[in-house]
Amino acid sequence: MNFLEIAKRIRQECAIAGSGPTTIIGQSGEYLRVVDWMSAAYHDIQAAHITWDFLRDDFSFATVAGTADYGVTQHAIADLNEWDTDTLRCYLTANDEMFLEYIPWEIFRDTWKIGPNRTKSARPSFFSVKPDNSLTFDVVPDAVYTIVGEYWKRPVAVGTDMDEPVFSAQFHMAIVWRALMLFAGYAAEPDKYMLGQDEYQRMLRR
């Protein structure tokens, strides 16, 4: 289902009068609430687990000689939510690609981010993730290396009428059932809430 079809199904399950909405853009009144419930439900599902497979993506960026820390400005991953720390590799050429070993930040900070270790220059072998989610390496890269790996994206917002959710079509009804729970809480309809909750949990388990 696309988002317009999902919104219409939400309206149907909530037993709201009418046959719309005809679009999810620029709505008001009851149909605006339908769209808002859909948006909130879509976000809730994506945020239920940071590491959903459908939020996983690849990344690649080049190091800068003399720079050890890489935030959004350097790695240009605007939708980063969480690094997959088991996947990072480093290479000068494809023939010398090697995994980088992840070290938790507190240990890393007290080992490499102290004294003369801060300015050592070489090929990175270890890395950590700082509290601001930037990457940092054990040494200052002495050349332009390519860093590749995987990460999990932040929840994606509802798009246009014809756009579809980022997860498989067989689970799109999860948005409807979660939205029904939000409607039922607003309308004080416990029977609808229980129906939505039961179906939503069933979809999540699948």
Using only C-alpha atoms, the chain has a radius of gyration, in whole angstroms, of 23
Which of 179, 168, 161, 152 has its CA nearest to residue 38? 179
Tens digits of residue pLDDT in 83-102: 999 999 999 998 999 999 99
Tens digits of residue pLDDT in 141-167: 999 999 999 999 999 999 999 999 999
Tens digits of residue pLDDT in 41-72: 999 999 999 999 999 999 999 999 889 999 99
**What pTM was estimated for this model as a whole?**
0.88
Q: How many CB atoms lie within 10 A of CB 119?
A: 10
pLDDT for residue 116: 87
Task: Tell me the CA distances in angstroms from 185 to 50, 61, 73, one per residue in order.
Answer: 26, 46, 42
